[in-house]
Structure 1
Amino acid sequence: MKQASVIGLIVLLIVLYSSMFTVKMTENAVVLQLQEYKKTITEPGLYFKIPVIQSVKYFSKQLLVNDDEAYEVITKDKKTLLIDNYSMWRIVDPLKFLQTVRTERGGASRLDDLIKSELRVELGTHDLVDAIVNTREQIMNKVTEEVDKKAADYGIQVTDVRIKRADLPPEIANSIFNRMRTERERIAKEYRSEGKEEATKIRAETDKEKTILMAEAYEEEQKIRGEGEKESIRIYAEAYSRDPDFYAFMRSMEAYKNSLKTDTTVLMDEKSDFLEYLNKIR
């Protein structure tokens, strides 16, 4: 009898435990009875259900973030962009959410489809530069608004949709980078060509200035040399006019010095004027 009471108490505790469930502050709960909707619980606390017959589905009240995989979008000017976006959303109607997409994963998948569709439509009406730079904020606000309207059918409220990254597809990016590299190389060659041309001009101008300076210096040199020789001739002439014999003697001595300073043998007539002063010594 005592053993039966213990077993009965244990069964009662198990039944009581299985009939209780807790709803947290961050959750909503949907109670199902034989898989049919019974009620929605939005307030936190301890609640009871009929074991086996009734079951509970929990859905987060918190703001959820969904990061989609990158996908291609074509803009108005026929440019292809690789878009990587994220969205922020919450479950506002647990019953409708359960009936349509059932789980958070299902909701995220359906939301991704809606966002891709709206982004393709909206970006298809804008050129690439506008979509990336000029009207990006307006585009994302409009996409958020449109997706939120459609997501309401699934019990979802969309608070924000943003493009995290917008790139060109790898094959197009490589083509553009190669074209940019070619263009930069062309510009570099132009700069080098212009530099060489400028260097040639500078060298030519420098050579011209050098030639002019050399010519002017040579002219000045010849002028100074001419004036010096003129002055020398004048001095010689003055000295000669004062004592012609002495001048003749000095000139002869200088001639002797220059012609007789080597071992060269000179054969001359003894009556030669050149030997005049040497003959006088004898």
Structure 2
Amino acid sequence: MRALAASFVVLLGVVAAAAYFSLFIVHVNEQAIVLEFGKPVRIISEPGLFWKIPVVQTVDYFDKRILDIDTAPQEVTASDQKRIVVDTFARYRITDPLLFYQTIRDERNVRSRLGPITESALRRVLGAATFQDVVRDKREALMKQIANQVNEEGKEFGLQVVDVRIKRADLPEQNSKNIYDRMRAERQREAAEFRAEGSAGANRIRANADREVTILKAEAMRDGERTRGDGDAQRNAIFAEAFNHDPDFFAFYRTMQAYETGIKSGDTRMLLTPDGEFFKYFNNPGTNSTPPQTGVQPKQ
């Protein structure tokens, strides 16, 4: 009995070991290739429990999920000759595990095969676009175009490239500095233009004000001269009327005015003869010493 029990235990162990080495599980997010002496003999794309021949057959597993790879940042020259440093990543899935195994064999080798393809497509597509297209206007369309080109070449490895995205697109450091300097110079130029326009406007305002002041002064002087002219005309008219009415009184009045004007200053020196016309009222006090009476009163 003991020998029978021992044999049963050994047989059970052999069966368990055989089952352990013969059964394998493919999970829902996996696909597998059964290899017999390194040669693919079966492809499994559905999840479940499967059999294999121990020792003779082995199983390689491949992820069914969408995976991604990062490419190294590279410098691209756009169609407008502006240089751009672009950092991208690609997303892919394994659609043909047999072809993938035959060409790439391992997921760790995907970057070395798909990376150069992505970088080449990136240079082709972005090299035909402008800097403005890349950073803003047509970025989404350009990414789809790159993804389509990479996907066409990725089919040769059993891959489907579902997306290519730009993580970062910047100008080279030196270009950024040059652009900053150019922008600063442009702002300074605009500020200088604004200041020049303001100064020109101020000069125009001052010139207009000076012109208006000159005009107002000229008009005031003209009006003043006109008023003085009118006053002189009225005065002369009065003098003429007085002269016509009483010439002796007018002569006496004008002589008195001349005395007042000529003698009132102590520094005035006059060379006159005693019998001159100017002093006739002093030399002949009895003659015309009293001015004739008249009803006309001259105005000063």
Q: TM-score range by the shorter chain?
A: 0.5 to 0.7
Q: Does 1:155 align with 2:131?
A: no
The answer as to 2:199 corresponding to 1:174 is no
Q: Name the CA shift for 1:63/1:216 in 2 (closer, same or farther; >3 Å).
A: same
Which residues in structure 2 correspond to 1:108-119 (within 5 Å)?
A: 108-119=111-122
Q: Is 1:202 the equivalent of 2:205?
A: yes
Aligned partner letter, 1:202 = I
Give the structure 2 partner of residue 10 of structure 1.
13
Once the 2 structures are TM-superposed, how far is the Cα of residue 33 of structure 1 from its aligned partner? Answer: 2.0
Alignment partner of 1:40 is 2:43: yes
Residue type at the aligned position of 2:64: K
Name the CA distance, whole Å, in 1 between partners of 2:99 and 2:22: 25
> 1:25 is matched with which residue: 28, 32, 45?
28
Q: Distance in 2 between matches of 1:53 and 1:206?
A: 108
Q: Which runs of 5+ in 1 are unaligned?
A: 225-282
Identity of aligned residues (%): 42
Partner amino acid, structure 1, of 2:112: S
**How many residues end up aligned between the 2 structures?**
231
Change (3 A) 1:208 1:12: same
* 1:29 match: secondary structure: strand
**How far apart are the structure 2 equivalents of 1:221 and 1:16?**
131
Distance 1:212 1:18 in 2: 116
- Which residue identity is paired with 2:161? V
Instruction: Output the aligned Cα RMSD.
Output: 3.4
- TM-score, length basis structure 2: 0.64
Residues 208/92 of structure 1: CA separation in 2 closer, same or farther (3 Å cut): same
Q: 1-side partners of 2:196 and 2:34: how far apart?
A: 81
CA distance in 2 between counterparts of 1:65 and 1:94 reads: 17
1:143 deviates by 2.6
- 1:1-282 pair list within 5 angstroms: 1=2, 2=5, 5-133=8-136, 135-206=138-209, 208-209=211-212
- Secondary structure in structure 2 of the residue aligned to 1:82: strand
For residues 178 and 56 of structure 2, what CA distance do their matches in structure 1 show?
64
Question: How far apart, in 2, do the equivalents of 1:175 and 1:11 lie?
Answer: 77
Q: Which has the larger radius of gyration?
A: 2
Q: TM-score, normalised by structure 1?
A: 0.67
Q: How much does 1:197 deviate?
A: 2.7
Contact 2:71 2:119 in 1 (8 A): no
The range that moved more, 165-174 or 89-98, is: 165-174
Distance 1:214 1:35, change over 3 A: same
Q: Rate the CA distance shift 1:7–1:185 in 2: closer, same or farther, 3 A.
A: farther
**Letter in structure 2 aligned against 1:88:** R
Using the TM superposition, give the Cα deviation of residue 73 of structure 1 relative to its aligned residue in structure 2, in angstroms. 1.1
The CA deviation at 1:39 is 0.8
Distance 1:10 1:221, change over 3 A: farther
User: Whole-Å Cα distance in 2 between the matches of residues 48 and 213 of structure 1?
Assistant: 115
> 2:213 and 2:54 mapped to 1: Cα distance?
111
The runs of 5 or more residues in structure 2 that have no matched partner are: 228-300
Shift of the 25–221 alpha-carbon distance from structure 1 to 2, 3 Å rule, reads: farther
Structure 1 residues 205 and 105, CA, compared in 2 at 3 Å: closer, same or farther?
farther
